[in-house]
Amino acid sequence: MVQLLGGELNSKGIDLRKALSRIKRSIWVYHINTGSCNGCDIEILDVLTPYFDVERFGIKLVASPRHADLALLTGPITIKTFSKVYRALNAMPRPRFVLAIGSCAVGGNIWFESYSTLGGFPKALEMFSEMGLEIDGVVYVPGCPARPEAIIYGAATLLGLQKPKTRYRRFKA
Amino acid sequence: MVKFLKILPIAIKTGTVTIKYPYQEPLITESFRGAIEIDPNKCVGCGACTRICPPKALTMTIESNTIILKYFVGRCIFCGMCADTCPEKAISITKEFELATGNIFDLYADVEHEVKTCPICGKTFITRKLSDKIISKVPDIPLETMDLCPDCRRKETLKKFIGVPE
């Protein structure tokens, strides 16, 4: 369900991959904008207000990546912000999760082949694995901008509260 | 300190505003646009949607002897221009927005089309469905050159008029 990277039995016989795949406490989130147009950021602010009130699920915004379990990543990851994203995600304690919000973070949107962007989080993820930064789970939330309900749905998918609806489909015409 | 207490009557008057999302229906208006859905029976594979799509979420690729219309919802901006431009009205806009998933390959949807191959040069150039559609719509179409690719068709038509060069 959640994409996993790395992990084998350690010296104490604990399956690290299994141990890090789920989070059993309230998740604290850190918001990273990587060159987004602020549409998705406004929707994230909407989620955090009393109107949608994600503190029902124990989700809380924190000001430092060192306190965070989950990074809310928006934007297509421009070349300029890439080093900052690496530093922010590197500062997060394991298990670290990423919620890629909006079309930009998922597939690069209209900037997917631009010279100044990486074109979405999947491409950054490849580079992170080369650089030795392990991310325990990624959930992609499409939408331009993603609705506040879609973001809550994505967080619920990450927490394992429900199974994702979307499936790969192939039709013959 | 006393100033803060002003908020209490306001809060009591307003009451609870929180939307209990998973249990309460989200606000979806008439004009809301979600993910698109391609009807594989209606789609002829003309590629009009791939040309109008601003972020190229809809793409057409030739794989061996099939043409694949690929829809990547992760790049879609939900503008609905593909539904407007589709000549067969095969694309419909749904109200689906709960698309979150942990696996990026779940966000793809493919429509597979049978392809026509030129008998002279062996090039693949058009879907069989689109070719049939053109034959049924255009009167007095020269059927003998319909199986050929545009380049070979030009040559064959020219041969008919000026004869075979020696």
User: What are the chain A neighbours of B19 within 8 Å (beta carbons)?
Assistant: 51-52
DSSP class per residue in B65-102: TEEEEEEETTT-----HHHHH-TT--EEE-------BS
CA distance B70 to B107: 10
DSSP class per residue in B13-24: HH------TTTS
CATH architecture, domain B32-149: 2-Layer Sandwich (3.30)
How many angstroms separate the CA of residue B116 from the nearest CA in chain A? 14
Asked if A108 reaches chain B (Cβ–Cβ under 8 Å), the answer is yes
User: What are the chain B neighbours of A167 within 8 Å (beta carbons)?
Assistant: 106
Burial letters B135-147, b for 16+ CB under 10 A, else e: eeeeeeeeeeeee
* pLDDT at residue A5 in the model: 45
- In this structure, what DSSP letter does residue B8 have? H
CA distance A131 to B62: 35
Q: Which of B26, B107, B113 sits opposite A140 (nearest CB)?
A: B107
DSSP class per residue in chain A: --------B-TTS-BHHHHHH---SPPEEEEEESS--SHHHHHHHHHHSTTT-GGGGT-EE-S-GGG-SEEEEES--BHHHHHHHHHHHHHSPSS-EEEEEHHHHHH-GGGTT-TTB--SHHHHHHHHHHHT---SEEEEE--TTPPHHHHHHHHHHHHTSS------EEEE-
Closest chain A CA to residue B35: A143
Contact A135, A97 (CB under 8 A): yes
Reported as a single tens digit per residue, the pLDDT across B57-83 is 999 998 888 899 999 999 999 999 999
Report domain extents, chain B: 32-149
Reported as a single tens digit per residue, the pLDDT across B94-148 is 999 899 998 899 999 999 999 988 888 888 888 889 989 999 998 888 888 888 8
Interchain pair A142, B26: CB under 8 A: no
Extract the tokens encoding A126.
């490849």
Burial letters A27-38, b for 16+ CB under 10 A, else e: bebbbbbbbbbe
Give Cα B86 to chain centroid, integer Å: 8
Q: Which of B77, B101, B129 sits opposite A140 (nearest CB)?
A: B101
Closest chain A CA to residue B112: A172
CB atoms within 10 A of CB B56: 16
Which backbone phi and psi does A105 adopt, to 5 degrees? -70, -25
3-state helix, strand, coil in chain B (%, to 5): 30, 20, 50
Compute the Cα dihedral for B157, B163, B164, B166 and give only its sign: negative
User: What are the chain A neighbours of B40 within 8 Å (beta carbons)?
Assistant: 171-173
* pLDDT at residue B81 in the model: 92
User: What are the chain A neighbours of B74 within 8 Å (beta carbons)?
Assistant: 103, 106-107, 120, 140, 142
Q: Which of A1, A112, A164 sits opposite B75 (nearest CB)?
A: A112
**What is the Cα gyration radius of chain A?**
16
Asked if B11 reaches chain A (Cβ–Cβ under 8 Å), the answer is no
Q: Has residue B155 got a pLDDT over 90?
A: no
* pLDDT at residue A137 in the model: 87
Interchain pair B75, A167: CB under 8 A: no
Instruction: Quote the pTM value.
Output: 0.86
- In this structure, what DSSP letter does residue B107 have? G
Interchain pair A103, B55: CB under 8 A: yes
Beta carbon pairs, A and B, within 8 Å: 134
Residue type, A93: P
Interchain pair A144, B21: CB under 8 A: no
Nearby residues of B102 by Cβ (< 8 Å), 6 or more positions away: A1, A2, A3, A137, A138, A139, A140, A157, A158, A164
Residue from A36, A35, A41, A87 nearest A66 by CA: A87
Per-residue pLDDT of chain A (173 residues; tens, 9 = 90+): 444 444 456 666 666 666 667 777 888 999 999 999 999 999 999 999 989 888 888 899 999 999 999 999 999 999 999 999 999 999 999 888 999 999 999 988 899 989 999 988 999 999 999 999 988 889 999 998 899 999 999 998 888 888 888 889 888 87
Residue B27: pLDDT band (50, 70, 90) is: confident
* pLDDT at residue A12 in the model: 63
* pLDDT at residue B165 in the model: 66
* pLDDT at residue A3 in the model: 43
CA distance B20 to A162: 16
